[in-house]
Chains A and B, each alone.
Chain A
């Protein structure tokens, strides 16, 4: 029971990170029907941006408690802005011209972008692991039984709270604002939306920006949680987040969050109870199984095949 509760906390934390990345996949797939393969690497770039900002602030002002908090906050904000810029540029340069082109072209372009980003970071920042000094290590012990203490760390609380708050804001934007309406209109029928005066190109750009900003939140949280980042960190979390998006039903926002939580929980429980070596195999197997037996996902709409 103690182990279970502890893993539940860890799983939800990890799931929050996956869920944030998954939203980027699901929104882009919903609006232009492509798998933005580079999204995982955008997430990795965001973690690096956060790392650099964090280092800059702590080098200038030291490593005391208040400074660390300020540094993380600043890292989060700067990372969201810069990552959004990356995503905007990627869409503008690599995807926009291919919209409506031959179906494989955007996917290949996205894979190329993913390789480009990964190797750009490797060349620009070096291939070694980048550890930050451990921050927010304190934990709160929830209860203790049989000598096993179930604890939740401040980091985990921060990740959960930030995720919940941002998801709330995001949910409000998509459901209640004119921008969100335009997005949903473009998702249903871009041509009709354009005829009704909705700037489709700009709406799609904003979708990419929003997805990237949430990925940047995930990237900053990832950096804080694990305390280390390396240039190849985009691929596996990217694929897992995509799995989460598919599991929840691609195109559905609550689905992406739900899928992210499920994937996070499955991964942590699998590592705890079965085998830590095969945790990625578990995630990939779920992806395959869901796509084969339940391609519409948990909360998605079934796809109707038209002649």
Chain B
């Protein structure tokens, strides 16, 4: 709305007018939705509650916000914007940032244990460490499909669900348990179920990746996104409705936890603590789970970095840039797309099996479309194809949203009814929009070429020709 201000400082009149306009619009938007609330009365009828203070403060906030933005924009116009080449910083970040991040992650549980102590550490390792790492792993898995092969997948959560349900169903199935007991001995399946089912879950997810990838080979761009969304929803709805198979909404509970390569984490004499002469606390399991997901995530990263340099990885990137050129150069696009779907899905399946083992309980509620959107948001916000970008985006989105649960001191400011956690997804959605407006190409939008003539030149993603995806 604001035209570039002229030379003599900010045009206060214009900024004020713009802000007043924005406030007017905000009043129109919020007069009914915030000004009134349709609330249940005691006899279960809807009554309207009028909330003028809330409405007034929101409109005022919009006015102030628009005013500050207008002022900031007028400042920016004075120092004319320059078109930047990819900054040295971004290149360095990709080179040194990843080892630094890995080093930090390896040290993280120990660091937390030392600073917070064992009782407080579980929350920090579990809610922040493991939770974020699951999303990093999912982000890296989806990055193969979206970032490298350029196939926009909005149903990635389906493969996460396949992995989780594979492990949950195999590990809780009585026939398999009996069979294993006869074959090898009592207790073997209980102890090793996770380690045996993990690869199975990955393979099954890869199989589903091919199965769902096959019909969508001809589609591209937005249509591909919508069909994958439909597949994701179909799988979730089947899991809800096919009660005999998946126990429906009730989900599957008491899924065996992973063992330390055969040694369970419990207080018994055979348990991890007793074997290693330690005092029993639940923290060991949490730390172990942290390292398991860290290892899984690093495998994902290593595989996708290696694959980029292999012929199939180059074919993916060629496919992302231009499918027609790709086909006319004799690349088998069918195989290229299917491998991308399969490998991406496989890592989603691993993450799903881990998720089921960590939670001990799964239900279709964990695999809603919002999860797919969240993973895709992580990949795109990070900068498609950038491994480090995924890490930063996961920490910002998942960690930042998790952090909101910790902001109890805000209750002192806004009163006891204020629960910051309920604004989690609201802020998440706003962040997605703002990030796109600020950096549509993601945080780290540098593409390092895997093939080069004399020297590597990082190319800003803005300059790379846009493929059809």
- Give complex CA distance A132, B47 in Å: 10
B237 to chain A, nearest CB (A): 5
Q: Does A128 contact B (CB under 8 A)?
A: yes
A115's partner among B230, B234, B370, B469 (CB-CB below 8 A) is B370
Q: Which residues of B contact A112 (CB under 8 A)?
A: 377, 428-433, 436
- Give complex CA distance A45, B30 in Å: 11
- Give complex CA distance A146, B429 in Å: 54
Complex contact B425–A115 (CB within 8 A) = yes
A101 to chain B, nearest CB (A): 5
A295's partner among B40, B219, B376 (CB-CB below 8 A) is B219
- Contacting chain B: which of A102-110, A135-143, A202-210? A102-110
Q: Which residues of B contact A35 (CB under 8 A)?
A: 222, 225-226
- Tell whether A52 pairs with B425 under 8 Å between CB atoms, given A108-B377, A128-B40: no
Complex contact A52–B377 (CB within 8 A) = no
Q: Does A149 contact B (CB under 8 A)?
A: no
- Which residues of A265-304 have CB atoms within 8 Å of chain B's CB atoms? 277-278, 280-281, 284-285, 287-288, 291-292, 295
Complex contact B219–A292 (CB within 8 A) = yes
- Tell whether A94 pairs with B32 under 8 Å between CB atoms, given A112-B431, A116-B430: no
Q: Does A14 contact B (CB under 8 A)?
A: no
Q: Which residues of B contact A107 (CB under 8 A)?
A: 152, 222, 225
Q: Which residues of B contact A89 (CB under 8 A)?
A: 25, 29
Q: Does A242 contact B (CB under 8 A)?
A: yes
B234's partner among A49, A133, A281 (CB-CB below 8 A) is A281
- Give complex CA distance A244, B345 in Å: 29
Q: Does A34 contact B (CB under 8 A)?
A: yes
Q: Which residues of A contact B373 (CB under 8 A)?
A: 111, 115
Complex contact A116–B222 (CB within 8 A) = no
- Tell whether A98 pairs with B436 under 8 Å between CB atoms, given A51-B38, A295-B219: yes
Complex contact B426–A277 (CB within 8 A) = no
Q: Which residues of A contact B32 (CB under 8 A)?
A: 49, 52-53, 78, 82
Taking each of A98, A104, A132, A281, which has the highest tally of chain B beta carbons within 10 Å of its own beta carbon? A104
Q: Does A198 contact B (CB under 8 A)?
A: no
B163 to chain A, nearest CB (A): 21
B50 to chain A, nearest CB (A): 10
Q: Which residues of A contact B233 (CB under 8 A)?
A: 239, 280, 284
A287's partner among B25, B226, B437 (CB-CB below 8 A) is B226
- Give complex CA distance A242, B426 in Å: 24
- A-B contact number at CB 8 A: 176
Complex contact B426–A104 (CB within 8 A) = no
Q: Does B241 contact A (CB under 8 A)?
A: yes
Taking each of A128, A246, A284, which has the highest tally of chain B beta carbons within 10 Å of its own beta carbon? A284
- Tell whether A277 pairs with B431 under 8 Å between CB atoms, given A56-B48, A89-B25: no
Q: Does B273 contact A (CB under 8 A)?
A: no
A22 to chain B, nearest CB (A): 13
- Tell whether A285 pairs with B38 under 8 Å between CB atoms, given A85-B25, A89-B29, A98-B437: no
Q: Which residues of A contact B230 (CB under 8 A)?
A: 239, 243, 284-285, 287-288
- Which residues of B227-266 have CB atoms within 8 Å of chain A's CB atoms? 227, 229-231, 233-234, 237-238, 241
- Give complex CA distance A257, B221 in Å: 24
Q: Does A176 contact B (CB under 8 A)?
A: no
Complex contact B466–A109 (CB within 8 A) = no
Q: Does B195 contact A (CB under 8 A)?
A: no
Q: Does B45 contact A (CB under 8 A)?
A: yes
Q: Does B110 contact A (CB under 8 A)?
A: no
Q: Which residues of B contact A86 (CB under 8 A)?
A: 29
Complex contact B428–A115 (CB within 8 A) = yes
- Contacting chain B: which of A65-73, A118-126, A181-189? A118-126
Q: Which residue of A lies closest to B39 (CB)?
A: A126
Q: Does A222 contact B (CB under 8 A)?
A: no
Q: Does B398 contact A (CB under 8 A)?
A: no
Complex contact B218–A292 (CB within 8 A) = yes
- Give complex CA distance A243, B428 in Å: 27
A110 to chain B, nearest CB (A): 9
Q: Which residue of B lies closest to A112 (CB)?
A: B432
Q: Which residues of A contact B431 (CB under 8 A)?
A: 112
Complex contact B432–A55 (CB within 8 A) = no
- Give complex CA distance A211, B461 in Å: 34
- Which residues of B436-455 have CB atoms within 8 Å of chain A's CB atoms? 436-437, 440-441
A266 to chain B, nearest CB (A): 14
- Give complex CA distance A274, B29 in Å: 42
Q: Which residues of A contact B40 (CB under 8 A)?
A: 128
- Tell whether A94 pairs with B437 under 8 Å between CB atoms, given A104-B380, A109-B432: yes
Complex contact A116–B38 (CB within 8 A) = no
Complex contact A59–B47 (CB within 8 A) = yes
Q: Which residue of B lies closest to A236 (CB)?
A: B233
Complex contact B227–A116 (CB within 8 A) = no
Could you show 21 A-B contacts with beta carbons less than 8 Å apart? A48-B33, A56-B48, A59-B47, A82-B28, A89-B25, A94-B433, A98-B437, A104-B469, A105-B441, A111-B376, A112-B432, A116-B429, A131-B46, A239-B230, A277-B241, A281-B238, A284-B233, A285-B230, A288-B234, A295-B219, A295-B223
**8 pairs of A and B residues whose beta carbons are closest in the complex:** A112-B432, A116-B429, A115-B429, A105-B440, A119-B426, A112-B433, A109-B436, A284-B230
Q: Which residues of A contact B (CB under 8 A)?
A: 34-35, 45, 48-49, 51-53, 55-56, 59, 78, 82, 85-86, 89, 93-94, 97-98, 101-109, 111-126, 128, 130-133, 235, 239, 242-243, 246, 277-278, 280-281, 284-285, 287-288, 291-292, 295, 305, 307
